[in-house]
Amino acid sequence: MLKEERLDYILKKLQADQKVLQAELSTDLQVSEDTVRRDLEVLAQNGQLIKVRGGAIPHSPNPLAFKERSALHEADKQHIARKALSFLHDGQTIIIDGGTSTLALVKLFPLNLRLTVITNSVPIVAQLVEHPTIEVIFTGGRIGKISQTACGMETIRMLQKVRADLNFMGICSLHPDAGVTGLDLEEAEVKSVMVESANKNIALATSDKMGTAEPFKVCDITELDTIVTDNPDLPSLKPYLNLGIQVI
């Protein structure tokens, strides 16, 4: 089989199964695992998959730009946001990052809810600035125009001074082995500090984010306490449940 044919087979199998294993590909393609490893490296360098130990998994299907992401899966994000509201009560201090699912949550805050919200998200600040009973703390830092979030050392230093009750995370990619990952290094670093700065970490993730990975790690999957998703009954969520993570 020609190299181009092998690469095409790998991509089609990845699309069908949401993962590929080197050993299985070696048998299917009747080539050595070293050959398969090199093929996966080529596809990874082309941005067509993410290599993990023993195989590969897909990239997240969503674009990086906040405006583009806002228009995707709106009904699912609203459903997730309504479920996430159950974790909130008066007097909490919470961290909210710059995801589109977290913005959907903020838009549902009751007018009598009393919270302190710490965020690096410009759209979330704009949403909450006129809320009568929410205290808003913006992390500061350099604002990325594509993500509409603050990042950099100023943002990190501010977050390191915080001990929050909850951290609500918008998710780019989620995988039981690769953990929580993202497309942007600086954003991943900020999210990682948010995880360290909260007593409980809650991921808001549409089901298309499950089983995918990106280049920059935020945290191990076991750092999550809860995953709030649009379809908690999917078989692909069983590995997270087996790790003791609440899935709702």
Q: How far is CA 206 from CA 31, 55, 142, 177, in A?
A: 37, 24, 28, 18
Query: Are both 204 and 91 inside the same structural domain?
Result: yes
DSSP state letters, 22-34 = HHHHHHHHTS-HH
Cα angle at 209 between 243 and 230, to 5 degrees?
80
Count: domains in the chain = 2
pTM given for the model:
0.82
Query: Are both 52 and 71 inside the same structural domain?
Result: no
Going residue by residue through the chain, which has 248 residues, state the pLDDT in tens, using 9 for 90 and above.
Answer: 788 889 989 988 887 787 899 999 999 999 999 999 999 989 888 878 888 888 988 877 665 565 656 556 688 999 999 999 999 999 999 999 998 999 999 999 999 999 999 999 999 999 999 999 999 999 999 999 888 999 999 999 999 999 999 999 999 899 998 999 998 899 999 999 999 999 999 999 998 888 888 889 999 999 999 999 999 998 889 999 999 999 99
- 100, 172 Cβ separation under 8 angstroms: no
Which of 38, 57, 76 is the endpoint of a domain?
Answer: 57
Which uninterrupted H or E stretch holds 68?
Answer: helix 66-70
Instruction: Assign residue 22 the CATH number of its domain.
Output: 1.10.10
Query: Are both 240 and 166 inside the same structural domain?
Result: yes
The residue among 195, 203, 201, 97 whose CA lies nearest residue 150 is: 97
Query: Are both 123 and 141 inside the same structural domain?
Result: yes
Domain with 211, as residue range(s), is 66-247
Q: What is the DSSP letter of 226?
A: E
Cβ neighbours of 157 (radius 10 Å): 13
